[in-house]
Chain A
Amino acid sequence: MQTNALIRQRNQAVWKYILLPLVFLTVALLGGLRVGAESALGKQNFIFIAPPLVCLILAAMLMLLFTRGRLIVLPDWLSNDFPFLTNTANVLTLLTVFAASAQALNSVLPERGLLLWLFAFFFLWTLWNNLFSEFDAKRLLRSLAVLFGTAFMLKHLIFAAFAAPETSIWRRITGLILEGVSLGSLDVPNFAPLTGYISFFALVLYVVGLVGLLPSVEPVTQQTFDNDEDETIRRLSAVISRLAPHEQELLREQLTRKQIAAEAILVETKNGE
């Protein structure tokens, strides 16, 4: 039993301190990578675009949202009780989450022009609203997946088709609509289709990383409870604190009901005696 616990602990440490930062740093690497459209010489070149300031602001809001949505439970990451090395490793992992968030946004936001500001405004609006909503970690993840997915579709399918040099029917339709709406102020750079694939891969990795941030719930058995009562209670309280407020309320009601029933049985038993 103890061996299983040790293996689980080791695997969790490998995931948290090695694989998770690697996943997020790969997102940070790919998020700003574009592949230029084929030149006259038939060459495609890499373009590394550093995240604009608006991406950093949005990433900071995302970090707040992760904390509020209990995807990142700060006391589990940083504490005075942890050794220096643990705190350092945790801070580094959190920094990689921030970098990946900024670059994931960079990946789905248009590079410049009116579209960049429109997208940035919608992201800002959505995240700002989310900051004041009731969220639990899983719902937050679903909401973010939809948000990033929509932005990805708009940028890499619709606007990319608009910027494509070949005159397809789709390009003509989007071109007519967008040029008309924006009074010709659109500035969509033309990238190779590979850029869309890279962005897709980066977003999938980002979501995988975020899912990996979900706090793992270790099974609590009578034996673990007997072995270390304080630790088990601490773990259970941490799990409860991650629930949404209405779920906590529901749990409280259930427990109270059970306690009342148990007390009633106890009273009945005593009366019977």
Chain B
Amino acid sequence: MQFKIIQISGVLLTVFYAAFVIWLYLSQPQTIAEISTKATVAVGTYEVDTAKFNEGLRLFRAENYRAARDFFAAADSEKRDAKTQFYIAYSLYREGYRRVLSVSNDKTLFQQALEANNQVLNLNPNFKLDDADLKLKTPAELKAELQQGLEWDWNVLNPGNLLRERK
């Protein structure tokens, strides 16, 4: 009986340890802290750092988009939270937006915003933001706005664009 218990414990221990080793090689954590964060993702207990998120939101509202993004990225290091990723995409959009001549929008920032927005769509295709200050509430709306900002047509020379507002 004791022999059987040893064998069963051995099998279980081996399987779990082997799974842990394989998981490490697949998830490629770079620090000890990352190992624990990725482990929380794996077991489904991952949570966004609320303090950092709130600080990011404060900076976002103060239009300090770069600093806000740093805080959002730190709050959601594993890019698992649709809301945080949406704010990152939104901050990239706002920073890259040019009112006078839409063709001069910062294309790099808009591209990055599209990538972040795609991440939101991957995480939650039905995501809807509950922030009254922002006009674009869904990733689909933000995507349309970003794609429009990246395209070139004669309409970009329309003087009426001066009156358009940043969303």
A residues at B contact (CB < 8 Å):
9-10, 13-14, 16-18, 21-22, 25, 28-29, 32, 43, 45-48, 50, 85-86, 88-89, 92-93, 95-96, 99
Contacts and interface: CB of A to CB of B under 8 A. Distances in A.
List the 3 closest A-B pairs by CB distance, nearest first: A17-B10, A45-B30, A21-B14
Contacts of A99: 18, 21
B25 A25 contact: no
Interface stretch (B1-9, B49-57, B110-118, B119-127): B1-9
Of A10, A14, A32, A46, most buried by chain B (CB within 10 Å of CB) is A46
A92 B31 contact: no
Nearest to B7: A89
Contacts of B4: 85
Given A25-B17, A48-B24, A88 B29 contact: no
The interface size bin for chain B is: 20 to 34
Contacts of A21: 10, 13-14, 17
Of A9, A18, A28, most buried by chain B (CB within 10 Å of CB) is A18
Given A9-B3, A43-B31, A92-B14, 18 more contacts: A13-B6, A16-B10, A17-B10, A17-B11, A18-B6, A21-B17, A25-B14, A25-B21, A45-B30, A48-B24, A48-B25, A48-B28, A48-B29, A88-B11, A89-B10, A89-B11, A96-B14, A99-B18
A254 to B, nearest CB: 36
A22 B21 CA distance: 11
Nearest to B27: A48
B73 to A, nearest CB: 15
A42 to B, nearest CB: 13
A260 to B, nearest CB: 44
B6 A17 contact: yes
Interface of B is mostly: helix
A213 to B, nearest CB: 15
A266 to B, nearest CB: 44
B30 A22 contact: no
Contacts of B13: 18, 21-22
B11 A22 contact: no
B67 interface: no
Contacts, number: 68
B15 interface: yes
Contact of B18 (A48, A86, A88, A96): A96
B21 to A, nearest CB: 5
A13 B11 CA distance: 12
B83 to A, nearest CB: 28
A21 B11 CA distance: 9
Contacts of B3: 9-10, 13
Contact of B25 (A13, A16, A50, A95): A50
B25 A32 contact: yes
A171 B144 CA distance: 56
A29 B22 CA distance: 8
Given A18-B10, A85-B11, A45 B31 contact: yes
A76 B122 CA distance: 51
Contacts of B30: 45-47
Contacts of A88: 11
B17 A22 contact: yes
A247 B38 CA distance: 54
B15 A92 contact: yes
A43 B18 CA distance: 28
A23 B7 CA distance: 16
A2 B4 CA distance: 19
B6 A14 contact: yes
B99 to A, nearest CB: 36
22 contacts: A9-B3, A10-B3, A13-B7, A14-B6, A17-B6, A17-B9, A17-B10, A17-B11, A18-B6, A21-B13, A22-B17, A25-B14, A32-B25, A46-B31, A48-B28, A48-B29, A85-B4, A85-B8, A88-B11, A92-B14, A92-B15, A96-B14
A170 B15 CA distance: 45
